């Protein structure tokens, strides 16, 4: 049943990744931390218009990026990370983004979510990125009972076939923004309410 529901979420909330170049996916995901998608897209577009390659960014100073990526928020910290990441990729990996989880996690500011997005979107490797949406929705539905995104990732990998790992992240993000929102979720309009523990509990509580 869980696999069937996951497939339906993916079908109803498809997410196309316009950018699939591993380096641009990596840098865009760093920019996306703690900001909205539209801010990330604007900042990434401005950045890549000026700095097109890891080599270009490796030569930059963090302050050179401030105005370009300001819209993404936390721009000083992100600029420093982006320059450091670019230098490491140029010096250690000959300008190519590493394609293993272990190596990606060694890059500054790269956590499991970012690394898994790069593996799936940039390299089409089976990887399951868990952000706040995936963590929240999986727990609300009752698929998992976890406290952290990392625990959720491990649990979902046991529940879902590999072919769904990559697509489920983007689709749950869209589902989480539009229906299963953090605050005031649209439970009554949700196509999954009959399968949802959170919905059943809310109804039960409202009847008391």
Residues noted as catalytic:
113, 131
- Angle at which helix 162-178 crosses helix 2-12, to 10 degrees, equals 60
Is 189 one of the annotated binding-site residues?
no
Q: Residue 187 annotated as binding?
A: yes
Count helices and strands (H / E) in the chain: 13, 0
Phi and psi of 36, rounded to 5°?
-85, 155
Any binding-site annotation on 94?
A: no
Pick from 196, 167, 179, 177: which is nearest to 11 by CA? 167
- 144 within 8 A of 138, measured Cβ to Cβ: yes
CA angle in degrees (0–180, nearest 5) for 100-103-106: 145
Contact 24, 45 (CB under 8 A): no
Task: For residue 190, say whether it is annotated as part of any ligand binding site.
Answer: yes
Helix axis angle for 132-141 and 149-159, nearest 10°, is 60
Residues 6+ positions from 13 with CB-CB distance below 8 Å: 170, 171, 172, 174, 175, 178
Residues 6+ apart with CB under 8 A from 100: none
**Binding-site residue ranges for [4Fe-4S] cluster:** 180, 187, 190, 196
Annotated binding site: 180, 187, 190, 196
């Amino acid at each position: 049943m869980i696999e069937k529901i996951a497939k339906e979420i993916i079908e109803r909330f498809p997410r196309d990744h316009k950018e699939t170049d591993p380096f641009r996916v990596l840098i865009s995901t760093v920019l996306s931390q703690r900001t909205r998608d539209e801010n990330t897209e604007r900042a990434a577009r401005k950045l890549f218009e000026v700095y097109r390659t890891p080599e270009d960014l490796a030569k930059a100073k963090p302050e050179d990026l401030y105005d370009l990526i300001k819209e993404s928020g936390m721009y000083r910290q992100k600029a420093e990370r982006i320059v450091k990441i670019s230098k490491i990729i140029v010096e250690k990996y000959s300008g190519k983004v590493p394609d293993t989880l272990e190596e990606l996690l060694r890059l500054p500011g790269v956590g499991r979510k970012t690394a898994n997005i790069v593996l799936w979107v940039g390299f089409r490797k089976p990887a399951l990125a868990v952000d706040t949406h995936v963590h929240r929705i999986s727990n609300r539905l009752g698929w998992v009972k976890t406290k952290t995104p990392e625990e959720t990732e491990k649990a979902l990998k046991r529940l879902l076939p590999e072919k769904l790992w990559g697509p489920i992240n983007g689709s749950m993000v869209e589902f989480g923004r539009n229906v299963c929102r953090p605050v005031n979720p649209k439970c009554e309009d949700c196509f999954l309410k009959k399968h949802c523990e959170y919905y059943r509990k809310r109804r039960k509580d409202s009847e008391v």
